[in-house]
Structure 1
Amino acid sequence: MDYLLSYTLGECQLRKLTHTKTVSHSPALVFKAISDVSSYSKVLPLTVSSDVTAKDKAGYPTRARIRIGSEPLGLDHTWDSIILCEPKKGLIDARSNEATKQGPGMLDGLRTTWTITPVAGNPNASTVKLDVEVKFRSPVFDQMFYQIQGTVADTMISSFEPTLQELEKTQPPPAPAKKKPAKLVVRNPKGQGQQEAAKKTTAPAQAAKKTGGQ
């Protein structure tokens, strides 16, 4: 079947798709959820396992082994992923190892790039953009993906919503805003300003009398 489709349709092309969605969670919380690659098997559809094999000094994953599968679809593929996490930029980039092209499986390459940015004026909201690039070996899977590619990215982003809601529950409550100390206003009694002016006027005269008396 693959041979006939390959002969008819030619080599599978690189598929690209992108989707942007605003979520009601802070950028830090969204980054925490998506950078937790070890939880992907509990979050993303068709992901059977997601084992982190290396981390950077900050504890973010740099390498992982991902397996996707579905018995009804005849889908079973494992690949090593190279991951870059940059929390200051809100960037999580994962791409399949070049060895994927030489090894067995259905993919020639896969890259997912998450970009998380704050929403102006709302610290509890984020804009999440997902870019996906994928190239299949099998025309069967390529055509299957082509039929659903319009919903793939949105589904992947939405899949993290339950995780984000759980993380929200574990967040410490915001610290109460510090109240500014009240200013003490002393009102001068009536005529005090005139008395002060009079003292300043008579002081030089009194000093002169004392000097002359000596």
Structure 2
Amino acid sequence: MAFAAPAPIPSRTQYVLDAIKHGILTGQLVPGQALVETELAARFGVSKTPVREALKTLAGTGLVVMSQYKGVTVREVDAAMAHQVYDVRLLLEPEALRRTIARQASLDVAADALVRADEAEDNAERSLANREFHRALYVPCGNPLLSRMLDEVRDQAALVSAVVWGAIPSWEREATEHREILRLARAGDADGAARALHDHIASFVHRAFPAQEDAV
């Protein structure tokens, strides 16, 4: 029995979806902020239908919360949420990188992302470049399902980063760690790169939420 491919998202809905997601992941729309359909429709020059569909999709990715009483809001970030998201990354991302290295896949995209992060003029650009760096490490792993699983938590991880960077601007330390991960990966040291990546992910969430270090 053949399964039908999912229907493509209409262009107006995709436009609104991308714009809202960008606002959330760059900190322009902050956790807890209400997302009112009529206001967003007027802002983007569309009807409420594409806004409603975009918000439903964002709720499915965990970036917004839909409540019968509060309406739609940007998802709040707390220690429990952050540790759940980063626990998934700790379990999957180092193994994906190990497989990427074993396949001798190109890491040029990751290197380019590091350059963009270094040259970023603000946290928004830096955050987007860092997301691309991490994704470029796991996408070539050879297992599309593993890549999709990591993609599913990618936006939530970026939301955590945006919130944490607002309080703890630690991107210089993380940039140094990124360069070391890439160096080990390009040298073919799969175990070393995987350990460095694991430590990088773990140290970030532990610095941000030190009281919850033993929760994962």
Is this a same-fold pair by TM over 0.5? no
Query: What TM-score do the two structures reach when normalised by structure 2?
Result: 0.23
Between structure 1 and structure 2, the one with the greater Rg is: 1
Q: Looking at secondary structure, tell me which structure has more strand per residue.
A: 1
Looking at secondary structure, tell me which structure has more helix per residue: 2
